[in-house]
Amino acid sequence: GSLLLITATPESTLAYVTVCTPLLAGLVQGWRGAAVFAALQVVIVFGVYASVPKLEAGGATGLLLPGFCVIAGAVGVTLRNLLLRFGTATQALTETRARLAVNEAVEGERTRLAREMHDSVAKTLHGLAMAADGLACSADRMDPLTVRHQAELVARAARRAAAESRELLTDLRREQGLEGGVDLVAELAAQAADFTARHAVAATFRRLAEDTPVPPVPQAVARQLLTVASEALENAHRHAGPTYLVVLAGVKGDVLRVSVYDDGRGLPAGTTLESLRRAGHFGLVGMVERAASIGARIRIGRGRAERGTEVRVELPLAALAPPPTPPPPFAPAPAGAGAPATAALPSL
């Protein structure tokens, strides 16, 4: 800016390009940087005026360029504040959407379990109770062979109810339970070990960062993440022909990352979700839909590796945190304020 003012003089049109200096200082450093560089720019302008005798710094012409420097610095600070606020609002919106998606997934899982219990276990137990009542009421009037047959029907219904209950408990029961959350790292490690035991290809589990703990994951969210990982392992084994697989999980920055990498053939060039859907291959499509249902981002491709395929799912940690408790609508009046203290109403 100084060289431009000296060579072109402050009265040239090119001199007004130097107002970009306080503008950029305001964008990068805020009020302090804008003030320092604007003041320095004004000093340089008046210095140039004083060093060149033919230039006149008096009147409105001499104050025009310094005024532009001050205005440019203020504009830069204003733009910086707007950009920071926009970034904060965008991050808050992303976290809110992810949290809402997690809550919807939890509510949807509860609804599904209630429907399953009503349609399977409840009906089976009701039929079992009716069969047992009928057997108890007519046992003295039936021959032993008929009683045995009815007892076998009751036993068969009881075993069916036990199997249906076991299936529901498999969905519900985790090491820490529904309310405490699921230990996703332990579940993925067990999943990799089970895959290795069932197939000739080894699946190795690794932590992204050993010193960063992974928070408990809600059961409905963990179910989707574990299903995506399982589908990725099975797809790689069936279609890619890998020699090894790696399951990674951990916290990276402000996101929870789960990825499955294989060194197989990789996806064909030009593969899209629409082409897979038309061809009837719904494995990858289901992964994308499951990730979207919990507000996570999913990336399927080679990534930074030279070959193979990586399925990476990233979920903001803010979506796993419980929503803040809203304050009560009415706070109790301070003691000695002259009016009787009223208890705060519970928030709805």
Instruction: Give the per-residue pLDDT at 338.
Output: 42
Global confidence as pTM: 0.50
Both 290 and 205 in a single domain? yes
Average pLDDT, the chain: 77
Q: Are residue 245 and residue 308 in the same domain, yes or no?
A: yes
Burial class (CB in 10 A: 0-12, 13-18, 19+), 42: middle
* Average pLDDT estimate for 249-261: 92
The answer to the question of residue 324 being in a domain is no
Q: Which two tokens stand for residue 148?
A: 């045995």
Last residue of a domain, one of 172, 201, 219: 172
Q: Is residue 116 part of a domain?
A: yes
- Measure the CA–CA gap between 191 and 182, rounded to whole angstroms: 14
What's residue 328's pLDDT?
Answer: 55
Residues 214/256, Cβ–Cβ less than 8 Å: yes
| CA atoms of 201 and 245, how far apart (whole Å) | 7
The domain in which residue 275 lies consists of 179-319
Look at 15-19, 37-41, 92-96, 116-120 and tell me which has the smallest mean pLDDT: 116-120
Residue (of 281, 284, 315, 286) closest to 301 by Cα position: 284
* Overall domain count for the chain: 3
Of 172, 196, 213, the residue at which a domain comes to its end is 172
Q: Does residue 309 surpass a pLDDT of 80?
A: yes
Name residue 206's beta-bridge partners. Answer: 248
How close are the terminal C-alpha atoms of the chain, in Å? 61
Strands across the sheet containing 309-316: 202-207, 244-252, 255-262, 309-316, 297-301
Q: 203 and 292: one domain?
A: yes
272 and 206 fall within a common domain:
yes
Residue 267 lies inside a defined structural domain of this protein: yes
Rounded percentage of the chain residues whose pLDDT exceeds 90: 11
* 292: in domain: yes
Above 60 in pLDDT, residue 60? no
Average pLDDT over residues 69-81: 86
Residue 343 domain-assigned? no
Same domain, 24 and 156: no
Q: Is residue 256 one of the residues assigned to a domain?
A: yes
Q: What is the CATH number of the domain that holds 287?
A: 3.30.565.10
Whether 151 and 197 map to the same domain: the answer is: no
Give dist(CA 193, CA 166) in Å, integer: 23
Confidence of residue 26 (pLDDT cuts 50, 70, 90): confident
Coil vs helix vs strand at 334: coil
On the question of pLDDT at 329 being above 60, the answer is no
114 in a domain, yes or no?
yes
Is the domain of 189 the same as that of 313?
A: yes
Reported as a single tens digit per residue, the pLDDT across 76-90 is: 888 888 988 998 888
Q: Is residue 33 in a domain?
A: yes
Q: Model confidence over 173-186: pLDDT tens digits? A: 544 444 567 889 99
Q: List, in order, residues 6 or more apart from 177 with CB less than 8 Å away.
A: none
Report residue 125 CA to chain centroid gap: 40
- Rg of the chain taking only CA atoms, in angstroms: 34
Residue 205: which pLDDT band, with cuts at 50, 70 and 90?
very high
Closest-CA residue to 237 (of 215, 217, 265, 257): 265
> Measuring CA to CA, how many Å separate 38 from each of 29, 74, 83?
12, 9, 21
Instruction: Output phi, psi for 251, to 5 deg.
Output: -100, 125
Q: Closest by alpha carbon to 46, among 27, 31, 65?
A: 65
Cβ atoms 318, 98 nearer than 8 A? yes
Q: Residue 312 in 3-state DSSP?
A: strand
Other CB atoms within a 10 A radius of the CB of residue 151 amount to 14
The residue ranking higher by pLDDT, 275 or 28, is 28
Spell out the residues 6+ positions from residue 149 whose beta carbon is closer than 8 angstroms to its own: none
Burial label, 217 (beta-carbon count in 10 A; 0-12, 13-18, 19+): buried
- Rounded-to-integer distance, Cα 280 and Cα 147, Å: 51
Helix pair angle (20-29, 31-51), 10° resolution: 160
Each residue of 109-130: pLDDT tens digit?
A: 776 666 556 555 665 677 678 7
